[in-house]
Amino acid sequence: MATAGGSERTATIDVVVVGAGMAGLYALHHFRELGFSTIVFEAGGGVGGTWYWNRYPGARCDVPSLEYSYGFSKELEQEWEWTEVFPPQEELERYFNHVADRFDLRRDIRLNTRVTAATFDEDASTWTVETEAGDVVTSRFLVMATGPLSAPMRPDMPGLDTFKGRVFQTSQWEDGTDVSGMRIGLIGTGSSGVQTTPELAAVAEQLFVFQRTPTYTWPSRNGPLDPEVQAAWKRDCVENRRMQREVFAGVTGSTGAIIVALPGEKAILESTEDDRLAMLEEHGFDASRKWSDTATNPEANELACDLFREMIRRTVHDPDVVEKLSPRGYPIGCKRPVVDTNYFETFNRDNVTLVDLRRGGIERITETGIQTEQGHFDLDVIVFATGFDALTGAVGRIDIRGRDGAALRDAWSSGPRTLLGLQCAGFPNLFTVTGPGSPSVLVNMVVASEQHVEWIGALLAWMREHGLTTVEPTLDAQDAWVEHVNQAAEGTMWTAPSCNSWYLGANIPGKPRVFMPYVAGLPEYIKEADAVAANDYEGFAFS
Ligand code: N01
- How many angstroms separate the alpha carbon of residue 493 from the centre of ligand 1? 18
Residue 261 has pLDDT above 60, yes or no: no
Enumerate the β-bridge partners of residue 383.
Answer: 168, 186
324 and 208 belong to one structural domain: yes
β-pairing verdict for 375-378 and 369-372: antiparallel
Q: How many angstroms does the Cα of residue 111 sit away from the middle of ligand 1? A: 27
Residue minimizing CA distance to atom 6 of ligand 1: 188
Per-residue DSSP letters for 338-384? EEESSHHHHTTSTTEEEEEGGGS-EEEE-SSEEEETTEEEE-SEEEE
**Whole domain around residue 231: which residue ranges?**
160-384
Which of 153, 192, 446 is the pocket-test mutation for ligand 1 (most atoms within 8 Å of CB)?
Answer: 192
Of all protein residues, the one whose alpha carbon is nearest to atom 36 of ligand 1 is 190
33 assigned to some structural domain: yes
> Which residue, among 343, 470, 495, 455, has the nearest Cα to 402 in the 3D structure?
470
**Calculated CA dihedral for residues 86, 287, 334, 450, nearest 10 degrees:** 30
Residues 222 and 127 in one domain: no
CB 394 within 8 A of CB 414: no
**Ligand 1 site-directed mutation target among 90, 91, 191, most atoms within 8 Å of CB:** 191
Q: Are residues 349 and 436 in the same domain?
A: no
Q: Are 503 and 516 in contact (CB under 8 A)?
A: yes
Q: Is residue 76 part of a domain?
A: no
Q: What is the Cβ-side half-sphere exposure of residue 505, based on CA atoms within 13 angstroms? A: 18
Q: Do 361 and 459 fall within a single domain?
A: no
Tens of pLDDT along 429-457? 999 999 999 999 999 999 999 999 999 99
Does 6 score more than 70 pLDDT? no
Q: Helices 298-315 & 273-283, crossing angle to 10 degrees?
A: 50
- Report the residue count for the chain: 543
Let me know if 486 is exposed, middle or buried by CB neighbors in 10 A (0-12, 13-18, 19+).
middle
Model pLDDT, residue 120: 97
Q: Whose CA is nearest to atom 46 of ligand 1?
A: 386
Q: Which atom of ligand 1 is nearest to the CA of 357?
A: 11
474 pLDDT higher than 70: yes
Domain edge (last residue) among 325, 356, 384: 384
Report CA(188)–ligand 1 centroid distance (Å): 6
Q: Give SS3 for 455.
A: helix
- Report if residue 66 sits inside a domain: no
Same domain, 395 and 302: no
Q: What are the backbone dihedrals phi and psi of residue 491, each rounded to the nearest 5 degrees, phi first?
A: 80, 5
Question: DSSP state, 149?
Answer: S
350 alpha carbon to ligand 1 midpoint, in Å?
25
**Residue range 22-26: average pLDDT?**
99
Where does the pLDDT of residue 409 fall: very low under 50, low under 70, confident under 90, or very high at 90 and above?
very high
Quick one: pLDDT at residue 8?
45
Mutation test residue for ligand 1: of 186, 212, 442, 499, the one with most atoms within 8 Å of CB:
212
For residue 406, being part of any structural domain is answered with: yes
Does 237 lie in the same domain as 168?
yes
Question: pLDDT per residue over 266-322, tens digit each?
Answer: 999 999 999 999 999 999 999 999 999 998 899 999 999 999 999 999 999 999 999
Q: How do 338-340 and 38-41 pair as beta strands?
A: unpaired
CA of 109 to the centre of ligand 1 (A): 30
Ligand 1 centroid to Cα of residue 138, in Å, is 37
Q: How far apart are CA 461 and CA 468, in angstroms?
A: 10
Q: Is the pLDDT of residue 119 over 80?
A: yes
CA of 194 relative to ligand 1 center, distance in Å: 9
Domain co-membership, 347 together with 407: no
Rg of the Cα trace of the chain? Answer: 24
Same domain? 396 vs 370: no
State what percent of residues in the chain have pLDDT above 90.
Answer: 94
Check whether residue 206 and residue 129 sit in a common domain: no
> Rounded mean pLDDT of 148-154?
97
Which one of 325, 359, 384 terminates a domain?
A: 384
pLDDT, position 99: 98
Q: Are residues 115 and 194 in the same domain?
A: no
pTM above 0.85, yes or no: yes
Give the Å distance between the CA of 150 and the centre of ligand 1: 12
Which of 371, 440, 507, 513 for a ligand 1 pocket mutation test, highest count of atoms within 8 Å of Cβ?
507
Atom of ligand 1 nearest to the CA of 507: 20
- Between the alpha carbon of residue 436 and those of residues 431, 432, 433, 517, the distances in Å are 11, 8, 9, 5
Q: Which residues line ligand 1 (CB under 6 A)?
A: 60-62, 149, 155, 187-193, 195, 210, 212-213, 336, 339, 357, 362, 385-388, 441, 502, 507
Task: Count the domains in the chain.
Answer: 2
Distance 336 CA to ligand 1 centre (A): 9
CB 385 within 8 A of CB 189: yes
Domain assignment present for 275: yes
Taking all residues of the chain, what is their mean pLDDT, rounded to a whole number? 95
pLDDT 10s digits, 48-73: 999 999 999 999 999 999 999 999 99
Q: Are residues 360 and 408 in the same domain?
A: no
Single-letter amino acid code for the residue at 50: T
- In a domain, residue 79? The reply is no
Closest C-alpha to ligand 1, atom 8: 191
CATH number, position 25: 3.50.50.60
| SS3 of the chain: helix, strand, coil, percent, to 5 | 35, 20, 45
Nearest CA to ligand 1 atom 18: 191
Answer yes or no: is 91 within a domain: no
**Cα 384 to Cα 154: distance, rounded to the nearest angstrom:** 7
- Shared domain for 342 and 423, answered yes or no, is no
pLDDT at 259: 64
Q: Compute the distance between CA of residue 431 and CA of residue 316 in angstroms, rounded to an integer.
A: 47
In a domain, 71, yes or no: no
Gap between the Cα atoms of 316 and 359, Å rounded:
19
Q: What is the pLDDT of residues 342-360, one digit of tens each?
A: 999 999 999 999 999 999 9
142 bridge partner residues:
16, 430
CA-angle at 325, arms to 519 and 496, nearest 5°: 25
Of 414, 444, 430, 429, the residue nearest 523 (C-alpha): 444
- Residue 286 DSSP label: G
Atom of ligand 1 nearest to the CA of 336: 25
Report how far residue 190's alpha carbon sits from residue 296's, in angstroms, rounded to the nearest whole number: 23
Q: Among 432, 430, 409, which Cα is nearest to 421's?
A: 432
Domain boundary among 369, 384, 399: 384
Strands (DSSP E) contained in 374-444 are 375-378, 381-384, 399-401, 430-432
Distance between CA atoms of 94 and 440, rounded to whole angstroms?
Answer: 23
